[in-house]
Amino acid sequence: MLLDTPLCNFGWQAPDFTLKDPDGAPYRLADHLGGKGLLVAFICNHCPYVVAIAERLASDTALLMDEGVNVLAVMSNDYRIVRADSPPEMKKFAAHYGFAFPYLVDEDQSVGRAYGAVCTPDFFGFNGKGELQYRGRLDDAKMGDPAGRSPELLNAMRQVAETGHGPQTQYPSMGCSIKWG
């Protein structure tokens, strides 16, 4: 089912969480909030919308991380329903696309629910205080045609890093619904 994300609720406070990567290493959100902000990306392996942007996501987030913006990705789908999203498959997917950020398993889906994540991809950009400043799409590219794209997420997170505030104009992300158990 195709869904769009809601508009940004500026100032909404990021709920803390601790999730593990596919190897069992824990990551706590509070440890990744910093002066330049944090991007939390809800993604999965099987969604054609995520697959279509995965290379650009890896590239844009590598730039952000080099500039001091932290990035965490969360997989909230029930992988007992969608086996392609299982932790071993997450590990392969991250390696295939060269993700430099931690890709975390939301085993009980509590983080996806706490954030109100609705689809993959669903991006939440926070300033250093953990206040939501961006909830939009990666870019304006059409499926499979990134030529001449405007990197909206990259630009927004750079603005957040510099000013603590996101752009007033944001466009919703679009993707497949999260598979709730």
Q: What is the pLDDT of residues 70-127, one digit of tens each?
A: 999 999 999 999 999 999 999 999 999 999 999 999 999 999 999 999 999 999 999 9
User: Which CATH number fits the domain that encloses residue 136?
Assistant: 3.40.30.10
Range of the domain at 65: 2-177
Rama region for 117: left / alpha / beta (φ>0; ψ in -120 to 50; rest): beta
Residue-wise pLDDT tens digits, 132-170 = 999 999 999 977 677 889 999 999 999 999 999 999 999
Is residue 118 within 8 A of residue 178, CB to CB? The reply is yes
Counting the structural domains of the chain, the total is 1
- Read off the pTM: 0.96
Give the closest residue to 148 by CA, choosing from 67, 56, 61, 66: 56
**What are 21's two structure tokens?**
């990567």
